[in-house]
Structure 1
Amino acid sequence: MGRISLYELRRMGVSLDDIEAAKITQLAQRRTGSPVQSIGVIVGAAEQRQRTNPNPPTDLTVRAMRKRGAYDQAALLLDQQALRESSPERAAMAREAATAAKELSASDQLEFDFFGGGNVSIAFQYQDAVTERLFAAAKTPAQAFHAQAVLWQITRNLGWQSYECTKTAADLCEVMRTDKGDMARALDLLEQVGAIRRVKRGRTKTITVTPEGAFRGNIHNHAQAVERYKLDVIDGGKSDQAPEQ
């Protein structure tokens, strides 16, 4: 058995000094996060009980790792390696490195970066007006719902402090798993109701959204983005199709 009472250990001839030294070893094991051995095992009076690891290493598949950021990947690998270490000292070092990687990830990747301006701000009036116009103009409710979903992808992929979507129509097709025909009809409908404007940039048709309706970036630079939109899109842009007023 792995656990023997102190009384039995004393009867077996284990000295008090050895027992106290074993307690210090247990304390060190707890501090390093290593499995804590019984005093009997430490002093050699009992054999270590073999048991199943309650925290088996995670299956580090490519698919699972792809969902994590670089620091999260590093932290996970270090945690898993710590579980495999036979040396308590090396396991403690691996866990310390994993903790540092987790802290770097937390400081670099917030779930909702409101204060940094990373998220898209969408005006309620814009959202309500577009929704009402879509259902009035679409041939079927399904077309209106699809156009809404496309608009959501457009607004969430706006450039930083910009009114231009970073994805083309082809990119949106890939993201939304839809064909080119359905995407073209959705974009036509969105432009028809004034939700977006498409502007030629060389051979590419850039999708734009008025910053008054949706904006991604520092709120203090919102006015400049609005002015650029007026100059580049409304006054100087070449729209494929004049949106209805």
Structure 2
Amino acid sequence: RELAPYTDKVRIKWYTQPADPVVAEWYYDGMYDYNYPKDPRERAKRVKLHVRQYATIEQCYDQILELELDHGIRYDEIVRLREDAFLFTPIRPLHELYEGAEGPMPDMITNDCENWDGINDKGALLKRSAAETYFRGPMRAMYVDKGSIDSSELRNGEGFIRAVLQDEGNLNIVQDLELFAVAPLRPACAMGGHPCLKVLREQCFERVIKEFPFPLCQFFDVTQKEISSGIEGAGKLHYKRGASKELRQIISAN
């Protein structure tokens, strides 16, 4: 609803994620990165979160098809943002970014920060021709045909997305924060549930922080040891970092 003044049409789709999704055994075995719980039950909870996210992404594609049918058009480009994501800088369409550039325009652009050696799932800017692979590929690989995906090379959800889109889907993907500056926004329990900015790698995001027009909190680098300790010891899946009061007010007001 908040986007309505800036768009031609807003469609709100209520979708209930699967409560207890079945996870393919090969996928479960492939999630062995350092920040995954060693306890089998906790690990199962973590990977089920992945499946819920993939199921939600797939629903987006169905809505895109319905919107195209309603308007009698086919979109040229699509932007997808995860529900907890925000943008440091405005989005520029692919055709503008690559106008006059040498070489072909990529199929997709995403953020290279927090990609954990795979492909960041916070959002993407992509060609319409890449949309079916992007939105439906993860669920298809999980339950129908994983192709040549090797679970021993996945490590994490980002690695799976890379395998689905790049290795199996043959998409030409550019990962560049300065072209698509997306980052996660999650509630912080220590701040009474207010939205907060969570950035684990200051040295990565500092490329766009200076251009961000709102006041930010101090950023902290989080080490691999801290992440592992937090997940294994406290059972928390993510670290949260707080934003300033001014930013929280802006987010709430807009």
TM exceeds 0.5?
no
With the shorter chain as reference, the TM-score category is: under 0.3
- For normalisation by structure 2, the TM-score amounts to 0.21
Q: Which has the higher strand share?
A: 2
Q: Which has the higher contact order (CA 8 A, sep 6+)?
A: 2
- For normalisation by structure 1, the TM-score amounts to 0.22
